[in-house]
Amino acid sequence: MKTLNYIYSEKDDLAEFIAKNNLLNYKNVLLQVFTGIIDFEYIQNLIIVIKKLLPNIKIIGTTTAGEIINGKITENKTIFSFSIFEKTEIVTFFSKIEKNGKKTALNLINKFPVNKKAKAGITFSNGMTTNGELYINTLKKYDESLIIAGGLAGDNQKFKKTIVFNEEKVLENGVVIALLYNDNLIAYTDYILGWKTIGKLLKVTKAKNNIAYEIENQRVIDIYSKYLGENIAKQLPRIGLEFPIVIHRNGLKIARTILFKNDDDSFVFAGNLNEGDKISFAYRDINFLNEKRNNVYHNVSKVSSESIFIYSCIARKSIMGGDIEKEISPFQKINSTSGFFTYGEFFSNKENNAELLNQTMTILSLSENKKDFDDNIEFINVVNEKESNRFIALSNLLTETLIELEEEIEKNREKESFVFEQTKKAQMGEMLSMIAHQWRQPLASINSLLLSVNNKIKINHFKLDKNENTNKFLDFLSEKSDKLFYYTRYLSNTIDDFSNFLKPDKEKKQISIIKPIENSLEIMKGTLSNFNINIIKDFKTIDKVFLYQNEIMQVILNILKNSKDNFIEKNTKNREIKITTNKVASNYIIKIEDNGGGIPETIINKIFEPYFSTKDEKNGTGLGLYMSKMIIEKHHRGKLLVKNLANGICFKIMIKGE
């Protein structure tokens, strides 16, 4: 096997190339066409020209975002890559894009010969509408031993129209595949990502196939705004190629880039994002990238390779600029190299992995004969020495800074865990006190009912020796037992309320903004009643918001308890707490105001500090308001504010709507 690469200019020049290389004399020739000219009529005429010169040629082709020929990069050119096989049969197929990637693949599969098995397949697909992940997974399930390579067509980053074709058909919305039949064909695939993840893992919370709606229960664009800045987010999807997110799946690190934005503010990615996927942003680390590149280069140099095809992401070309050629050129030293820059890379291997990759350079090595290669070829760095030193220094700085940050974060986690534990213990005592208040009245009522029944029986009130009084006694017992059932059910419900509150929140849930308020008031109902505290509710909004409900309840309960303690300490008359909800712009606001006289201005700025308390050691830990502020500002990206009023104090909880 050998591959001859050629830059097309005109028919006569092509005819001369064909004659010079005796291409008419070969039976099994696959022509891969990579063209940066995104013109349907041009491509149709191109196929006519080729078939007149080589009637039996097998063709698959794609429009590109840059072309690769003999280790060099071109743009807006048409590259012909003629692969001449001795013993390999080539068959090509095409299909229009169906409803989804799975149906598209099945439509192709139905055309495959049923009595023979291909060793490898090269496939190109529309770069804008194909769900590439469903497509390649379906192909792989059809034949798990099939090696698949190729990619999504490009259009020079215009993101308007891409074209794929074979010798029979040109398609603006389709897929093509060339299957290679030869049991002894040596097919090897590998890939280079080289992007290093950074920051915490984020959870995909709403997605369908390759459309993502929410990450961490927030709009995708809001996540990009938060971590990369509003200016970057405004440039999506164009700039999305340069800022991938990375998923860990099936032993592979899979990058995902944004293709375009829908009218409903969802984003279409060049591959699936599954609900529950853990993702993170990534950056280019030169040391890490060079290490990965050297490993792949070494692997490819070790296998028998008579032709090398590279299908690389346009994002690598955009980010590396002129230095991208230095990533590709070393492979030319192993053997003939050609390919194109894609909008997504198809990758599979013998381990049954099959994925659509982004931000990745994939390599397909083919050979019909076993050969030995020199593995002592030095690899060339991606960037020049000056740039390399700068990037290496920045990468090292970032890496070391991240290590130090992680160490500090771990220390803070331990401290926070300790603080939470102390706060929880203090809360348990408060909860027991509240339960006692809640239970006092129903327990007294139960005791009264039992005494009443006992006394009636003792004094023989119903004179049960007379038959006609039996029904009166039974009616009396029924009435009292109904009341006993009511009170015991109330006690049970109280325990449920408290136990539910003490359960840790695992994830945010969309609930009405007033639900944690009402639940908190229900828990404190007995306490508020016993201390004659009147609650005034003014709910101007009951919208649903994503919250950790029990954490918000913890904040509200803490503020209510502080007000109660303040009323008692100052012996306040006509005790009132007013709770209001409102929405201002995208912020939801809960205000809790009391008439307890407020906090001295000399200490009001200290009340959120850990271990600061205006109470004695028996009644306060100094952690309640500190933890409340952490819950609102750290867990809900909101604010907890306080200010004195004319005759009391106001706590304002601000939560950003998501």
- Report domain extents, the chain: 2-191+287-378, 195-284, 504-658
Q: What is the pLDDT of residue 424?
A: 56
Q: Name the nearest CA neighbour of 267 among 134, 138, 159.
A: 159
**Angle, alpha carbons 537-543-548 (nearest 5°):** 90
Give DSSP secondary structure letters for 78-142. Answer: EEEEEEEESS-EEEEEEEE--SSHHHHHHHHHTTS-SS---SEEEEEE-TTT--HHHHHHHHHHH
In this prediction, residue 481 has a pLDDT band, given cuts at 50, 70 and 90, of: confident
**Whole-angstrom distance, CA of residue 385 vs CA of residue 377:** 19
- SS3 label, residue 77: coil
Higher pLDDT, 61 or 290: 61
Which pLDDT band holds residue 420 (cuts at 50, 70, 90)? Answer: low
Average pLDDT over residues 408-435: 60
50 pLDDT more than 60:
yes
Check: CB of residue 76 under 8 Å from CB of residue 171. Answer: no
Over residues 45-51, the mean pLDDT reads: 96
Q: Name the band, by pLDDT with cuts 50, 70 and 90, for residue 82.
A: very high
**Poorest-confidence range of 2-16, 99-113, 145-159, 471-485?**
471-485
Least confident of 2-11, 31-40, 279-288: 279-288
Q: Is the dihedral of CA 206, 210, 215, 220 positive or negative?
A: negative
Quickly count helices (H) and strands (E) in the chain: 15, 33
pLDDT at 70: 95
Provide the CA 619 distance to its chain's centre, in angstroms: 44
Q: Is the Cα dihedral 609, 610, 616, 621 positive or negative?
A: positive
- Tell me the C-alpha distance between 630 and 419, whole Å: 11
Cβ partners under 8 Å of residue 463, min gap 6: 469
Q: In this prediction, what percent of the chain has a pLDDT beyond 70?
A: 77
pLDDT value of residue 603: 87
* Alpha-carbon span 97 to 101, nearest angstrom: 8
**pLDDT confidence tier of residue 525, bands split at 50, 70 and 90:** confident
DSSP structure class, residue 583: E
Q: Between these two residues, 269 and 60, which has the higher pLDDT value?
A: 60
- Tokens 């067509």, located at residue: 153
* Of 292, 293, 341, residue with least CA distance to 313: 341
Closest CA to 239 of 132, 151, 318: 318
Chain centre to alpha carbon of residue 131: 17
For residue 632, the 8-state DSSP code is: I
Position 155 scores a pLDDT of: 95
Predicted local distance difference test score (pLDDT) of residue 187 = 93
How does pLDDT run across 185-218, given as a tens digit for each residue?
999 999 888 777 777 788 899 998 888 999 988 8
- Compute CA distances 216 → 7, 258, 396, whole Å: 48, 17, 30
Q: How does DSSP classify residue 615?
A: S
Check pLDDT > 80 for residue 526: no
**pLDDT score of 627 more than 70:** yes
- Of the pLDDT bands very low, low, confident and very high (cuts 50, 70, 90), residue 386 is very low
More confident residue, 432 or 77: 77
**Average pLDDT value for the chain:** 82
The pLDDT assigned to 617 comes to: 43
Per-residue pLDDT tens digits for 590-612: 999 999 998 888 888 888 876 56
H-helix segments, 155-267: 220-228, 230-234
* For range 476-484, the mean pLDDT: 72
pLDDT surpassing 50 at residue 385: no
Strands 307-313 and 252-256: unpaired
Question: Which pLDDT band holds residue 635 (cuts at 50, 70, 90)?
Answer: confident
Residue 220: the pLDDT is 87
- Domain at 504-658: CATH architecture: 2-Layer Sandwich (3.30)
What pLDDT sits at residue 108?
94
**Which DSSP symbol is given to 648?**
S
For residue 561, the model assigns a pLDDT of 86
For residue 433, the model assigns a pLDDT of: 60
Q: What is the pLDDT of residues 446-463, one digit of tens each?
A: 767 777 777 766 666 666
Residue pair 341/151 in contact (Cβ under 8 Å)? The answer is no
What pTM does this model have? 0.61
**Per-residue pLDDT tens over the stretch 307-362:** 999 999 888 888 777 778 888 888 998 889 999 999 989 998 766 678 888 888 99
From 80-89, 375-384, 573-582, the region with the lowest mean pLDDT: 375-384
- For the segment 377-403, the average pLDDT, to the nearest whole number, is 54
Residues recorded for the chain: 658
- Other beta carbons within 10 angstroms of residue 495's beta carbon come to 12
137-146, 348-357, 418-427: range with lowest mean pLDDT: 418-427
**How many C-beta neighbours within 10 Å does residue 305 have?**
23
pLDDT of 259 reads 73
CA-CA distance, 630 to 379, in Å (whole number)?
Answer: 51
- Asked if the peptide bond before residue 237 counts as cis, ω within 30 degrees of 0, the response is yes
- Look at residue 576 in the predicted model and tell me its pLDDT: 95
Q: Read off the pLDDT band of 621 (50, 70, 90).
A: very low
Q: How confident is the model at residue 401 (pLDDT cuts 50, 70, 90)?
A: low
**C-beta neighbour count of 571 within 10 angstroms:** 7
Q: What are the C-alpha distances in Å from 191 to residues 283, 291, 292, 325, 360?
A: 17, 13, 9, 16, 7
Total Cβ atoms within 10 A of residue 579 = 22
Residue 486: per-residue pLDDT = 62
Write out the two tokens for 543. 């919208």
Of 362-366, 572-576, 654-658, the range with the lowest mean pLDDT is: 654-658
- Residue 619 banded pLDDT, cuts 50, 70, 90: very low
- Is residue 503 pLDDT above 70, yes or no? no
